[in-house]
Chain A
Amino acid sequence: MANYSFSRLERAYLQKQPTFGTIPNTSGTASVSNSNACRFMRMELQNEVALLERPDKTGTRSQEGMTSGRKVGRWSIEMSLAANGTAGTVPDCDPLLVATFGQTAAVGTGSVAVSSSTDATPIVVTSPTHGIASGALEVVTIAGHTVNTNANGTWLAYANSTTSLTLIGSSGNGAGAGGATGTVSRAKLTYTFTDDITQFTLWSFRTASTLDQRVGHTCVVTEMTFNLNQDVATWQANGDCLWVLRSKDFGTADVYQAAGLNNFPSEPTTPVTNGSIIPGFTGRFVAGASSTTASVYAAAAVAFPTIRNATIRVQTNNLLVRDTFGSYYPTMTEGDVRNVALTFNIYDDDSTAVNALKTWGDNKTPVDFVLNIGTVVGNIWIHYLKNVYLASHVLGDGQLRFDASYADSRATASSLSVKDEYSLIIA
């Protein structure tokens, strides 16, 4: 009797793939291991093989037989937003993020004690030399601060000096200055764009092991999407891959499909995964008009507590070249202009801040956004979008309170050299 499979009995393994068209291997044996495991919710791996039909007239209306044309694969995956839980350590989904940004994350380290804080808007924290260059912006985490407890959390901070930081979007709650308690930590990962395109390998192993197992190789990330204000925070990504190789067909796979393997591996036996889910409705939404002077942005940006939902869509437009003469398969990568867009919806009110959003949208004033998803250190995802040109808002009366929607507002780089339209920080 044939074995069937429960859909939950599937595991994914992600590997960075240094070489185009070659699954990571040692002498033909795949190097996929327990350390590559990554939890996920849904995954699709499928091949697309064009059909070539003879276009000539036949004298009848019947179609004669066809032949196979160019070959490529597609992949998509959806998973909970889950970092490692230990700040400065990459998440299980790191190969996906590296393929999105084109390079590995910068790892931030170091921590100093807090000396004091101001009960003001925004809060200014003083410390011994914190290590951030004066005038620079950087994400920091304040923990264990007493009295002025609103300072605790993960913030985009502006370095007023070598010993002073403005926590952007914060508002003090301490009677008088906060005490000399707590720490300022720079432990985090920062993913930023390059124009390079890197690949990864995506494995799907199912139970029973006698079932067809799959691997999509030479995968590039074409698009990824993050959502704010879900119950459980999730994200999705998709793109091209060179081919989806099936274990049952390994014996007849050609060299492009087998991608350097001599055999299809069995699933590693003791997968290692890390991190917890994030309640997707926890975090912070901060915005302020963009400024070439960081101190101006730091002083003006405010938190918007009545945000309803938000979506960040990152279209890398990384693709595989599908039209090389002499090849049925993609032969290299290619990329078009990146498109990072923010869509959000906020309850309407008569506050200065909410009105400012509308004015920025109508006047096309660029805006910088800092969206935190999560509040537990080690599992906070900070989306930093710069120079966002807001769409004009649409006032909605489809629910009990009026809201204002801003659709597909595009982030842009401060200059062509810095490629800073979007950074993802995990702290």
Chain B
Amino acid sequence: MIACRYVGGDCSQIGEREFDTVGQRAVFSEQGFREAILGHAPFITEEDFRKIGFTEDELSMYGQSGARVDPPQPFNDKLALAQQTFRDTYARMESEAGLVLAEALDIGA
């Protein structure tokens, strides 16, 4: 199982569960994590999230997308870094998925 945090700018739905708050927790199977990332749901692992260093105050004041008004620059910088981490993860997984599909179809990747 993979423990993750949501780092999206808006909201995502996975099955019937809604995510709309930066720092919102989720636990996925390895396959579930892969499908969430490839479905462009902005999650990063708990470990990556900790490294970015959001404070509890920041998350409670500016975490929820619908209530976020003019967050301070340090929060924006951390959110941008978290989203870049997500994008990097996505790019890696998409590349892997493309290779698998190419092998199955016997075409060049």
Residues of A within 8 A of B (CB): 18-19, 22, 24-27, 31, 33-37, 83-92, 94, 107, 109, 111, 113, 143-144, 181-183, 185, 187, 268-276, 376-379
Contacts and interface: CB of A to CB of B under 8 A. Distances in A.
Given A35-B36, A86-B83, A274 B12 contact: yes
A259 B70 CA distance: 51
B40 interface: yes
Interface in B32-48: 32, 35-42
B13 A272 contact: yes
Contacts of B76: 143-144, 183
A89 B83 CA distance: 9
B36 A272 contact: yes
Contacts of A88: 83, 87
Contacts of B73: 113, 144, 181-183
B80 interface: yes
27 contacts: A19-B105, A26-B101, A27-B104, A33-B38, A34-B35, A35-B35, A35-B37, A84-B10, A84-B40, A85-B8, A86-B9, A86-B42, A86-B86, A87-B9, A90-B40, A107-B87, A109-B84, A183-B73, A183-B76, A271-B14, A272-B14, A272-B39, A272-B40, A272-B41, A274-B8, A274-B39, A274-B42
A24 B65 contact: no
Looking at chain A's contact residues, the main secondary structure is loop
Given A84-B8, A88-B87, A274-B11, 19 more contacts: A22-B105, A25-B104, A34-B39, A35-B40, A84-B10, A84-B40, A85-B12, A86-B8, A89-B42, A89-B83, A89-B87, A91-B40, A143-B76, A144-B73, A183-B73, A271-B15, A272-B39, A274-B13, A379-B10
Interface string B52-95: 00000000000001000011010010001001101100100000
B27 interface: no
Contacts of B8: 84-86, 274
Nearest to A28: B104
B35 A276 contact: no
A143 B69 CA distance: 11
A89 B9 CA distance: 10
B1 interface: no
Nearest to B72: A144
A24 B42 contact: no
Contacts of B90: 89
B103 to A, nearest CB: 9
Nearest to B66: A276
Nearest to A34: B35
A26 B10 contact: no
A92 B42 CA distance: 13
A391 to B, nearest CB: 37
Contact of A18 (B12, B39, B105): B105
A170 to B, nearest CB: 19
A276 B11 contact: yes
Contacts of B100: 26
Contacts of A91: 40
A203 to B, nearest CB: 14
A144 B69 CA distance: 9
